[in-house]
Amino acid sequence: MQRPELKPGYPALQGPAAPHTREIRLDFDSGEEETNRTKFTWAKGVVVVGFHASLWIYGEEEVADPTLDTILVSLDRNDDFRFTTRQRDPDTAAEGHQFVTLSAITEQEGRRLHNIVIPNSRPELGVQFRWEGGADKFKTCRVKLAAFWEYLSPDPSENK
């Protein structure tokens, strides 16, 4: 299957039209190093064209408020192919190389667009969060990540 192109005809500060939005919300405890993997799921093949992340900080711990730059995210397709990676520092261990800052994937006035194609008949986009610098440094919060998406084809038999 050929990878679809982003739709033409949009000015630089506006992203491609995505008729659907789906959001996950996950409570991220200050004392936990990372969350369990959660996932977006669909009934047929999709293309995700963008994301928007936000935080609701409700913890009362005596630590810093988290931001989109202090929470890392890992994105995967069907728990195999990874969409996120960071430049590897030769002086560090391999752990954490599949996480990037949450702000890095967030739509920013149309300047950060994605073209994540998941053509499977039961596609899933896995998401996992991790604190930058470890547990107990930031207040407990709810992480919300919205995905802007559309089906690859109106006919489910074409999305296998």
Closest by CA position to 109, among listed 52, 36, 39: 52
Q: 3-class SS at 104?
A: helix
Residue 117: pLDDT band with limits 50, 70, 90: confident
Distances in whole angstroms, Cα of residue 60 to Cα of each of 22, 29, 56, 131, 146: 29, 11, 12, 17, 26
Q: What is the pTM of this model?
A: 0.79
pLDDT at 155: 59
25-41 pLDDT, tens per residue? 999 999 999 999 999 99
Count Cβ atoms below 10 Å from residue 116 Cβ, excluding itself.
19
Answer yes or no: is pLDDT of 154 > 70. Answer: no
Residue 46 has phi, psi (to 5 degrees) of: -135, 165
131-145 pLDDT, tens per residue? 999 999 999 999 999
